[in-house]
Chain A
């Protein structure tokens, strides 16, 4: 077992992990932050996306020890003082979720995309979502949500 320390949603945390412990398991099991989900075992579905030092990463493909000293943001860390992040708001307003399981990863991916990609349009959003699978929405309203949020955030 090793000790790992990082900042999660602005709070310093420390925990004991095995070398093989994944970041997603550290978040879910050690910190009880169960908003980050595991939907596959091949790094394909993106339900586990969190931000590590400001970049979207798949926490199912990152060892907890790799995040030593990093600043991690999860879905639980987005709303500030009860105010939803614009992307969270847009997903609700545009019905960008149904069962909600892929949603945390979608939202974390969307924030990263909006911050990183200039002049988002439908085609770019669809291409950028290639690492996130949703089985409920047919992506139609997810694309709408991301574009609406992008407009709001760039305003």
Chain B
């Protein structure tokens, strides 16, 4: 196997430009004649707009144009859409109000878009926006998911009474109720999953550029899925016909879900560039990102776990209130439903699970997928209640998990998912060895001798990735299919270009995808180019999220490579005067089995284009193939994360002293990159558990609107991670891959909180477990003990 093939820690191709300052992010691009946009945003969570007076602002220096919602409406544009329809228990579709590009008569969250100001420079646009006079009738707001359904709560949309978009259910209700009734013991838990703000380091940005000569629009945008953006902007919003709109997502500085969605700003820039016949650039500052990027999580749940006396799980009932924010974002309805309820069986052989979710509108920014999307919420709930159950039954938290593991595959859960393969004991055993579980009591005692409280916490997680079989998601309400496309184009000189519908915004696809090509064709790593993120070059694609680029995106490439190989062998057979089935391709050389005749790759590829003497009707000239790969099933990465913390009872400060993650991702293409994905995911999970929280006050003001107020994980908050891997190859795709992008963020929060509660000897603590919360919990505990 070559040094650049599958399984090798190949250093990344893309790094050269990033470490030398030659990356090309949206804000690094400037178009001739470009002007700049600034969006005037609502300072109120809920208000009626009585009047917008633009007179003074329009005459400010450098102003080119100012648009409001009525201008957008006059041009007949549609609003933003949610691409997934969820149904309530009674079969009715989710309820929603319109989601205008620019507000019409009502604003529904702080940061909602009121006007678009376009000027020669960014600072002129920003200064002019301050001169716009908006007459607001400020209304009461309902920013809190726990109380927004109250009969007297202010309403976000008249179309959704009681602020409820849907009340959804999944699983076997009767069996679950029976299990709870018959159980020897029922453990209950109320918990919140704290609201988070994604904060990719590159703020969102867009450049709309209309060419009046050709009628073509080009949009450069910070997107994880430019083809979906193009489809939504053309088919649903009606900004431009699809064939006249090119969407380019160049280098994108992180996404974590927040750049999947189609937002008002890029829509407005594209539309307005034709109105003023000039390119328009918009770049969010960080404050705008806090206000207007789709947020994540924000659940309030009640769970009941039915157990037999020996700790066998008999059933699980979960009731969740999920915050949707003020409008349904692009995929928001799917996140607290089909990406959440379907994972509540965890790694366990539950006979019955029943989940009910209310999707609730509030006067806050829209909530949608953030790294893990629904699966961290499910994992946090189940891994917390399992740990509590073990403690209350006096069992070892490891043993109660072991007792209930699924061990035969395929395994049909009560909540749709059919686990194809896994070995949960293997990951657990490896993780226990890595953390030295038997040595924990001694470490705890030693810590206590220094006055420190040491605790250990477990999380044996499963998630569903490789989103997803089109038929399956279609039947569950998706407006799209979730296949992926690939095109492999071999040049006459033998160089290979791969056009993929996946999008890399940190994942290193230019390296890993090239490794697959090297492995399959035997061409040098330098001879492979991966092209992505441009609807003008890649035919179609569903983009990158849901840890799908390996399992789905690379499977599409693999399928296209099958076709390339088949055709190349046909050409080789013709050139070498042999039977096609006797041709072999290894290390970039064609051979005839049982002979010493050889034909180098580049000679064949040149011949493919000279096409001299190709038998007509049998071999077409050229060497280029495409494929659309639709997965057979979701993939099910799983594993075990164990966290050890030390808490200083004097200050309430938590230090993570040991963190082990053992994951089963199936086949791994590049272990260096996979480890990096796990590190980043765990950091976001630790951030959620200990540091990060998005807070709105009772009037709907965002009070964590900057890096001064929202606690991002820093280098000294993080431990040195210990990673391990186990491997069961995924049978549901040709690559054997499961996906690794989200596991860290899914698995780690309950491991941390289980460790914190273990250290403190308490049952519950809310995330983030800040020093203040821990100190208060300790104080309350000691008062109770006194």
Contacts and interface: CB of A to CB of B under 8 A. Distances in A.
Interface in B653-705: 672-673, 675-676, 679-684
A101 B505 CA distance: 10
Interface residues of A, number: 55
A76 B19 CA distance: 9
Nearest to B504: A99
Contacts of B744: 138
B254 A95 contact: no
Contacts of B11: 92-93, 95
B256 interface: yes
Interface in A108-155: 122-123, 125-127, 129-130, 132-143
Contact of B14 (A47, A84, A100): A100
Interface in B707-722: 707-708, 712-716, 718, 720-721
Interface in B8-43: 11-12, 14-25, 27-28
Contacts of A37: 25, 201-202, 253
A139 B93 CA distance: 44
Interface residues of B, number: 56
B52 to A, nearest CB: 26
Interface string A27-56: 010000111111111101101000000000
B16 A92 contact: yes
B20 A84 contact: yes
B18 A129 contact: no
A141 B285 CA distance: 28
A54 to B, nearest CB: 19
B734 interface: no
Contacts of B534: none
A155 B472 CA distance: 58
A65 interface: no
B286 A125 contact: no
A98 B676 contact: yes
Q: Is the interface of A mostly helix, strand, loop or mixed?
A: loop
B706 A140 contact: no
Given A84-B19, A100-B251, A140-B718, A41 B682 contact: no
A50 to B, nearest CB: 10
A100 B23 CA distance: 8
A34 B684 contact: no
A102 interface: yes
Contacts of B706: 40-42, 44
Contact of B21 (A35, A123, A130, A137): A35
B721 A140 contact: yes
B120 to A, nearest CB: 13
B507 interface: yes
A72 B15 CA distance: 24
Contact of A92 (B12, B23, B24, B506): B12
Interface in A8-43: 18, 20, 28, 33-42
Contacts of B712: 44, 133, 135
A76 B684 CA distance: 30
A57 interface: no
B512 to A, nearest CB: 12
A102 B707 CA distance: 15
A127 B23 contact: no
Nearest to B718: A139
A107 interface: yes
Interface of A: 18, 20, 28, 33-42, 44-45, 47, 74-76, 78-79, 84, 88, 91-93, 95, 97-104, 107, 122-123, 125-127, 129-130, 132-143
26 contacts: A37-B202, A37-B253, A45-B707, A76-B20, A88-B19, A91-B15, A92-B15, A93-B11, A95-B11, A95-B12, A97-B18, A98-B508, A98-B676, A99-B202, A100-B253, A101-B200, A104-B21, A126-B718, A130-B715, A132-B715, A133-B712, A136-B254, A136-B680, A137-B679, A138-B681, A139-B718
